Structure 1
Amino acid sequence: MGPLVAGLWIAACSAGGNKQLGTGGDDTTGSGAGSGQGGGIGVGQGGGFAVGAGGGNGCGNTCSADLKKVIDCNGNLVEQCGPDQACLSGACGNDPCGAADEAKSSYGCDYWAVKPDLITDGSGACFAAYVANTWDVPVHINVERGGQDLGTGFIFIPQGQGQGITLSPYDSSAGLAVGEVALVFLSHDTSFPLLPLCPQPPAVNAETAVLGTGRGSAFNIKTDRPVVAYSILPYGGGPSAATSASLLLPTSAWDTNYVAVNAYAKSQIVLPAQPSLDILAYQDGTEVTLLPKVAVTGGAGVAGSAANTPVTYTLNRGEYLQISQDAELTGSPIQSTKPIGIWGGASCLNVPVGAAACDSAHQQIPPVPALGSEYAGVRYRNRAAATGEEAPPWRLVGAVDGTQLTWTPAPPAGAPTSLNLGDVAEFMAPGPFVVASQDEDHPFYAAQYMTGAEHVGAGFVGEGDPEWVNIIPTAQYLDKYVFFTDPTYSETSLVVIRRPASDGQFRDVQLDCAGTLGGWQPLGSYEYTRIDLVTGNFQNVGNCSNGRHEMSSDAPFGVTVWGWGGYSTTLLTAYVSYAYPAGASIQTINEVVVPPIPQ
């Protein structure tokens, strides 16, 4: 990206337990940050969806979370399913997509991608999705929007590693090969050339985002076998200084009850930038009721509402409403008559709110039943110019009144010891830590951030930028991931957290390019490590580079992918960063309901 564009972005840039009702809490506390993410994709399978990752109780035969094995209650193999079979209800069968629907993880056959709000300077940028085939047979991909089949001419397969990656056309007859990743270029608008356009013609040559508050039409990505999918804006965003990405959740993991989460508070230095919230239906006649903590300003096709006054919207299949406004809706209960998808975001945000530069942000938010009561917080590794340990912001959002928090090894300075429904607690700390509530009837949401490049001083010379990413609950870890990291970022690093197996012992974690991971550090009952894939001026680390990767273990573990750039690169990548969870189980791990009832 040229200096003009860089300059633009730098300058512009409940109820718990027995389903009793909860009451509301306070507003944001502490100091903080926010950000946009992007640049890569990941995919997970494994851990056991009735035992293993995502928890689950009971004995007898169950299914591994990759859906390919029947296992007993101790995780021992009972039966290996055939190449095109899947485990459903504790037995091998011939309905892989039905098995994925029952499993409730990031693994599925039906996804929706919403292009997030972005300030006007970013209009028209390449919006894309990644689809990873982790099945044992080829997978066929179909994309629709507004009920129209869009064909497949915009789907490509990345070949190679690092900056030498090339794109080969997807063969719709042969399908996506086993273990491959497809790049699905959804839209761009050639009349807005400031941010990267897609390297190949997309499905739609027009802006497909809603700018500000309004209603829009999402992309539906369907496959005939389970996959994992991600969205990214813009694709190839290393030179753009404005990237974000999200793990997508299949419709089988959607629910009717959520707590709203925006990316972060409104920027203090980019006046047009606003927090945003997207609500998407995949069935006609879906009624969505929001109990806003603050007034909803309203806009085109979106009614406004006073604070603490329920407002109901009706959505049809593929339709989403977006609320972009100065005041955050984070902590507001949402309930619907049919399952919905929720995305938090920001059209551009600064972390902290007064520090340059700004990035976009979007994350698909898990429903209340998938929220955890325990999270392990391990941040990205220090950026090269850091002096001492970086202490970025962290956020917790309460879902149930009377949530009591315990911290391992100790509470960070400014960290909360309790949460009520709707509370947004923020603190800045280097970590690592484990935070847990008193039981599964007191779930909460957790997020981590990277600060803007200029927040940490001139020494960072554009290294990294604001970032926001969901933290996956420890109960929702998987045991296998396939992911793709964007080759336009000069720094790519993984954060890996493993939990012990059922016998209390840790299992090795394998990364395809590095073998068995080492450097494990204790963190309560968990262990963590970090590993670089690319660093410096696009320098490969050992046999690792950007591109497609696989990780696996015999016990569940979590993976967060981080990437960023700086001025000291041959391809300008200053003021940019991204992060995403490589995958997650989205199983029901609590019985809490958070109704939109005024208190």
Structure 2
Amino acid sequence: MRHGGGLVLGVLMVVWLGCSAGGSGSPTPGPGKGGNGQAGAAGSDPDGSVGGGGTGGDGGAGGAAGDASLGGGGSGGSGGDADVPDQGEDSQDACPPCSADSLNVIDCDGNVIQACAAGEKCAAGVCTEDLCKKAADAKGNYGCEYWTLNLDNILAGACFAAFVTNTSQSPAKITVEYNGAILDIAQFAKIPVGQGSQLQYSNYDGVNGLMPGEVAILFLAVKTPQPAPPLGEPCPSGITPALKIDPAVHGTGRGKAFHITTDTPVVAYQIYPYGGGNAAITSATLLLPVAAWDVNYVAVNGYAKTEVANNWGLPSLDILAAEDGTEVKIKPVAAIEGGTGVPGSPAGQPITYTLDQGQFIQFSQAAELTGSAILSNKPVAVFGGNSCMNIPVGVDACDTAQQQIPPVRAMGNEYAAVRYRGRAGSNESVPWRIVGAVDGTQLSYTPAAPAGAPSTIASGQLVEFQSAEPFVVASQNADHPFYISGHMTGGSQFNGEGDAEFVNVVPTAQYMKSYVFFTDPTYPETNLVVVRKQGQNGFAEVNLDCAGALTGWQPLGPYEYTRIDLVTGKFKSVGGCSNGRHIIGSDAPFGVTVWGWGSNASFPFVSTYVSYAYPAGAGVAKVNSTVVMPD
């Protein structure tokens, strides 16, 4: 947001997806093979984890297993389905072939014909591999159950949306609930078509579901009447959101989240406010499925309180429960000020809060809680944000911030920190923040420690420093994990190009071998940062669908990095690339961060002072044995 009545900008968003439920297979589609009939279709997952069904015979075999990586082992593809008799025009009147819990094939009287084996579920009267369970067991970013919430922000109930990407071979049926009530998804789910000024929205097919490769935008809420920008941002013309409310909690308090479920694994993320390059203070985050949640976290805020204004720019921390009776204990590094339904607590004094399903508690205050230990009796999700941060704290302009924070078990002990492509051709020096989890954590840097970077860090300690050049930072071993975030500075230093942003840096141990992601078609600047590991046979090629094998690699210790633009200037495509859905893959693990921002070249269709960032994907596997206790 431009302080003082100027332009307001939001953050672009992109969809990313890991390669499979395990998140680690090769990007080459795996061929299906018909049992005794014809060959099945090629598997559409990037690692060939799901093969097409063969016609006749026993059904096609799935694609080959992806190679395991530290981001979670890839698994062999499932066999394709055998032919299912055509139900014909009267299929809607036929009795259901599966039990309500999907564990049995039944007849019209409800009698069990076949009990599905462990790891299977009934689909269309046939026991098949339960891909939702497979994804849940992998504990990655690919799943069938998500919760999404609107974090604290300075707007008055602007358009809040979630994105769902179907990367499987079969349609995905989507269900959305709020406060226990199922919402009419046919009303508010839309499929984006085109980009820029040509962007349109088609209807979601509530009967057949989200087709493979499609992205659905779920327009969840907007408060009506909606204030004019910069304090409001309506949903696109002609679209009626699910609820006409402001679902956010402003300040410290308690609120309710939206519940999204699907019948096949998908990838999801949230964006606020929706509106692409025109939206005010937009930010977005990848959402982790419930199966990837955990009970132990170190709190992270988006950034420190702004110094530009007194009534906004507060750091926020949100904790969300998926089950009733969830008890959350937190040991705050600063005093919790308290609010409606939220008792306060002095710094260093543990306090326990109880949450029920779909309920979140939010701490929004001037003093950061970054570094606070969190422990719960049931899995929770943790989000870090800021209602409108300035970076640096005294420099225009401000954007809201939101990232879902990984649990302690998924925090790494080595990170490759590489910023976005410099704006206006500059070699920008940007902030990096490291948060410790274990006392006595010793840090080493390659090629050299940036000025102000810590050599040691304690549990709960936050250290911020600047660096224009990429670096690798590592601790002494896996049981000394830590967290690091990257940031973009405010747009006033670059004539309104881009704005303040906050993003998780993915541990190198959580890199994957392929990603499917989606870049928002309303943003004119999209830049990818790619980092690859060196293997026994050197560096493996990384192939992007629109560019082929990536080039321009630069050395970074045992890693290499490159940056590639998809679009630039006034939505100008670079090479064969443009905004939209993309697949990128390699035979070895690598990381991808997506950045996007507004451009003066595309003003006024797209605002200046706007940016976004998020990892294209990440494993959430257990890579350490650390528990951070709030005692």
- Scaled by the length of structure 1, the TM-score of the pair is 0.87
Contact 1:9 1:357 in 2 (8 A): no
Structure 2: distance between partners of 1:316 and 1:80:
37
How far off is 1:514 after superposition? 1.6
Who is 1:288 aligned against?
Answer: 328
Equivalent of 1:493 in 527, 544, 557 = 527
Cα 1:72–1:52 change in 2 (3 A) is: closer
Contact 2:151 2:249 in 1 (8 A): yes
Who is 2:281 aligned against?
Answer: 242
Q: Any unmatched runs of 5+ in structure 2?
A: 28-44, 51-62, 83-117, 120-126
Structure 2: distance between partners of 1:357 and 1:343:
23
The structure with higher relative contact order (CA 8 Å, sep 6+) is: 1
Who is 1:150 aligned against?
Answer: 183
2:134 matched to 1:99? yes
Who is 1:256 aligned against?
Answer: 295
Structure 2: distance between partners of 1:151 and 1:479:
37
Who is 1:433 aligned against?
Answer: 471
Structure 2: distance between partners of 1:308 and 1:215:
22
Structure 2: distance between partners of 1:488 and 1:72:
34
* Matched ranges for 1:440-459 at <5 A: 440-454=478-492, 456=493
Contact 1:39 1:235 in 2 (8 A): no
Q: Which amino acid aligns with 1:366?
A: P
Structure 1: distance between partners of 2:256 and 2:541:
44
Contact 2:46 2:516 in 1 (8 A): no
Contact 1:407 1:434 in 2 (8 A): yes
Secondary structure of 2:612's counterpart equals: strand
My pick for the range that moved more, 545-554 or 105-114, is 545-554
* Matched ranges for 1:93-172 at <5 A: 94-119=129-154, 122-152=155-185, 153-172=187-206
Q: Which amino acid aligns with 1:435?
A: V
* Matched ranges for 1:55-66 at <5 A: none
Contact 2:526 2:568 in 1 (8 A): yes
Cα offsets for 1:216-274 (capped at 9, x unmatched): 00011111111110101111231234111001000111000000000011001121121
Structure 1: distance between partners of 2:46 and 2:578:
30
Q: Which amino acid aligns with 1:585?
A: G
How far off is 1:430 after superposition? 1.0
Q: Which amino acid aligns with 2:602?
A: T
2:367 matched to 1:370? no
Structure 1: distance between partners of 2:284 and 2:326:
26
Equivalent of 1:43 in 13, 17, 32 = 17
Secondary structure of 2:284's counterpart equals: strand
Cα 1:157–1:82 change in 2 (3 A) is: farther
Cα offsets for 1:420-472 (capped at 9, x unmatched): 00110111001211111110000000100000012x3xxx2111110100001
Contact 2:141 2:619 in 1 (8 A): yes
Structure 2: distance between partners of 1:172 and 1:505:
48
How far off is 1:38 after superposition? 3.9
Contact 2:26 2:586 in 1 (8 A): no
Equivalent of 2:373 in 309, 316, 333 = 333
How far off is 1:488 after superposition? 2.2
2:238 matched to 1:204? no
Who is 2:421 aligned against?
Answer: 381
2:334 matched to 1:301? no
Cα offsets for 1:35-79 (capped at 9, x unmatched): x854222222249569999xxxxxxxxx99885466497789995
Secondary structure of 1:101's counterpart equals: helix
Structure 1: distance between partners of 2:25 and 2:481:
20
Who is 2:219 aligned against?
Answer: 185
Contact 2:220 2:242 in 1 (8 A): yes
Cα offsets for 1:294-329 (capped at 9, x unmatched): 110000111100111111100000000111000000
Secondary structure of 1:115's counterpart equals: coil
How far off is 1:163 after superposition? 4.0
Structure 1: distance between partners of 2:138 and 2:471:
29
* Matched ranges for 1:269-284 at <5 A: 269-273=308-312, 274-284=314-324
Q: Which amino acid aligns with 1:43?
A: L
Contact 2:49 2:65 in 1 (8 A): no
Q: Which amino acid aligns with 1:490?
A: P
Structure 2: distance between partners of 1:79 and 1:295:
50
Cα 1:413–1:9 change in 2 (3 A) is: farther
Contact 2:322 2:356 in 1 (8 A): yes
Q: Which amino acid aligns with 2:152?
A: D
Structure 1: distance between partners of 2:334 and 2:48:
41
Contact 1:263 1:345 in 2 (8 A): yes
Contact 1:37 1:468 in 2 (8 A): no
Cα 1:303–1:477 change in 2 (3 A) is: same
Contact 2:306 2:394 in 1 (8 A): yes
Secondary structure of 1:97's counterpart equals: helix
Cα 1:310–1:225 change in 2 (3 A) is: same
My pick for the range that moved more, 579-588 or 569-578, is 569-578
Contact 1:10 1:357 in 2 (8 A): no
Q: Any unmatched runs of 5+ in structure 1?
A: 14-35, 54-62
Secondary structure of 1:190's counterpart equals: coil
Who is 1:524 aligned against?
Answer: 557
Who is 2:32 aligned against?
Answer: none
Structure 1: distance between partners of 2:367 and 2:531:
34
Contact 1:512 1:550 in 2 (8 A): yes
Who is 1:25 aligned against?
Answer: none
Contact 1:163 1:487 in 2 (8 A): no
Secondary structure of 1:556's counterpart equals: strand
Q: Which amino acid aligns with 2:326?
A: T
Cα 1:465–1:64 change in 2 (3 A) is: closer
Contact 1:396 1:447 in 2 (8 A): yes
Cα 1:405–1:93 change in 2 (3 A) is: farther
Who is 1:224 aligned against?
Answer: 263
Structure 2: distance between partners of 1:242 and 1:8:
14
Contact 1:39 1:238 in 2 (8 A): no
Name the % identity.
54
Q: Which amino acid aligns with 1:176?
A: L
Who is 2:431 aligned against?
Answer: 393
Secondary structure of 1:131's counterpart equals: strand
How far off is 1:385 after superposition? 5.4
Secondary structure of 1:221's counterpart equals: strand
Contact 2:444 2:474 in 1 (8 A): yes
- Scaled by the length of structure 2, the TM-score of the pair is 0.83
Contact 2:196 2:523 in 1 (8 A): no
Who is 1:480 aligned against?
Answer: 514
Q: Which amino acid aligns with 2:133?
A: G
Cα RMSD of the aligned pairs, angstroms, is: 2.6
Secondary structure of 2:534's counterpart equals: coil
* Matched ranges for 1:573-584 at <5 A: 573-584=607-618
Who is 2:59 aligned against?
Answer: none
Structure 2: distance between partners of 1:510 and 1:333:
40
Aligned pairs, number: 549
Contact 2:12 2:277 in 1 (8 A): no
